[in-house]
Chain A
């Protein structure tokens, strides 16, 4: 019997945690649950839950796909850390994908604006097309003012802020990319930390005593 391909998909870049177990291209188990600031607690128990349902061990997984943001909340780091560890421990291939592409895969509409809120009127956004069921990225993921970004789009689109990814659509796309050096994988933060930006702008952070 031909050995089946077992893929694990992980995304924790939004308020929802997403885990899916795909065997030979077919989604066998998945979890999509809201859990603000809670992914750190739930990710491993959820992972165990879907593995147990299929009678798999973590070591049985052949490939991992991880959403790497964009985003800068703790959440995205949890998923990336877990994916890196599984890949490193079991010496299996790791693929990275935009968490916005995962969001976009939820939509059935021809054009999709995937959006992860970044407060103060800003968001991490990506623009995707979904024509003929083929998911394509047509505007690079950015961190921008929401209205400014929308103002530059003259197509009719659906805005997606949450929604369970349609993993088959993602797997048939070319939106995921193999990670060559697992040790060095980091989330796609899209911007430097506030401290680094202030430093570059010459603002002295040192507190005056």
Chain B
């Protein structure tokens, strides 16, 4: 079955065609990153305007690359949330037009389900599995006992991990988006500050990063006031060590308790090399999978894959009243 994926929840306009839940025929992404860079973050109104501008072009490119006709599609899968509402609605409505025009069933997909299913493109899921979801908007541990069943074990109580990365980058005066730069600099520095590892010993699966973030910022501020040398590399290394220690430690705890067969990492921060290395080194009894780099960031292929399994599992489609939602529960 050919599934058309549509993703416009933030600042990427993406359309993809995936065959039978894992074979990606096309995954076109029109990124706005260069536009939002000047503002140090995504500006919702600009994002929405850019989606309208690029939407039909991206569909056209994806269909040409896939070499199929719209009539060949068996299902349309579109991100319905969570995300920026003005952005989500562009993809949702474009997808609904295709559904009406060709009488193709449509399903609205949870964005995080998409990130989790990005792994399935290269590594078929084996259950029970544990998904560590880490992005600019999310930090959570999700248990899956079968396809399309999500049980949230814990989540961040304040900042998402990607958000903390971006703020640290800003304090250090690094360019946007800061996460990848912090990751790069971390390799050239040393963990000299020994920042706190928040909630590392708590007996739940929740996270907290705002205290750590403040500690990093205060330390930076102090050095600056005392006119001492600031080595960004050491800040990055110390911050990254603290963050990844917490993420890896909670992941291992969940792995042991729930006896999972597989660990998958999802979301933009899954691209972080420090996290990748530490997880791989510390977990050797079950496989740890990461999506390929281009499936870590927002893309429509992951939505097509998730939509395919949502459809197979729930045997339900949405009607033409389908709408976008800025907030949306994964377990819903």
Interface residues of chain A, those whose CB is within 8 Å of chain B, are 40-45, 47-48, 58-59, 72, 74, 77-78, 80-82, 84-90, 182-184, 186-187, 189, 193-196, 199, 205-206, 209
Count: A-B pairs, CB below 8 Å: 103
Q: State whether A72 and B101 are in contact (beta carbons under 8 Å apart), knowing that A182-B56, A205-B40, A209-B171 are contacts in the complex.
A: no
Q: Is B149 an interface residue (CB 8 A)?
A: no
Residues on B with C-beta less than 8 A from A199 are 38-39
**Cα distance A87–B48 in the bound complex, in angstroms:** 20
B267–chain A nearest beta-carbon distance, Å: 23
Contact A80 B52 (CB under 8 A): yes
Residue pair B52, A81 in contact (C-beta under 8 Å):
yes
Q: What class of interface size applies to chain B in its complex with A?
A: 35 or more
Once the chains bind, are B217 and A84 in contact (CB under 8 Å)? no
* B57 interface residue per 8 A CB criterion: yes
Q: Quick check: A206 and B170 within 8 Å, CB to CB?
A: yes
Q: Look across to chain A and name the residue whose beta carbon is closest to the beta carbon of B324.
A: A40
**Residue-by-residue, is B95-114 near A (CB-CB < 8 Å gives 1, otherwise 0)?**
01111111000000000000
Question: Residue B320 contacts which of A44, A59, A186, A189 (CB distance < 8 angstroms)?
Answer: A44
| CB atoms of B52 and A186 under 8 A apart | yes
CB-CB under 8 A from B324, the residues of chain A are 40
A199 to B99, CA, bound (A): 40
Does B254 lie at the interface of the complex (its beta carbon under 8 Å from any beta carbon of A)?
A: no
| B217 and A89 form a contact (CB under 8 A) | no
CB distance from B168 to the nearest CB of A (A): 10
Please name the residue on chain B nearest to A38 by beta carbon. Answer: B323
Q: Which of B46, B56, B319 has the most CB of A within 10 A?
A: B56
Q: Which residues of B contact A194 (CB under 8 A)?
A: 45
Q: A43-B93, A44-B96, A77-B86 are in contact. Are A89 and B45 (CB under 8 A)?
A: no
Given contacts A186-B49, A193-B45, contact A78 B98 (CB under 8 A): no
Mark B228-262 against chain A: 1 for CB-CB distance below 8 A, else 0. Answer: 00000000000000000000000000000000000
A84 touches B55 (CB 8 A): yes
B45-A72 in contact (CB<8A): yes
B46, B70, B89, B100: the one contacting A193 at CB < 8 Å is B46
Cα separation A45 to B60 with both chains bound (whole Å): 24
Known: A44-B93, A59-B101, A85-B56. Is A74-B320 also a contact (CB below 8 A)?
A: no
Residue of A nearest to B47 (CB): A193
What is the minimal beta-carbon distance from A100 to any residue of chain B, in angstroms? 19
Tell me whether A40 and B89 are in contact (CB under 8 A). Answer: yes
CB contacts (< 8 Å) of B167 on chain A: these are 209
Complex Cα gap A42–B96 (Å)? 11
B43 within 8 A of A: yes
Other than the given A78-B93, A84-B56, A186-B49, 4 more pairs (CB < 8 A) read A43-B93, A58-B100, A182-B56, A187-B52
Contact A48 B45 (CB under 8 A): no
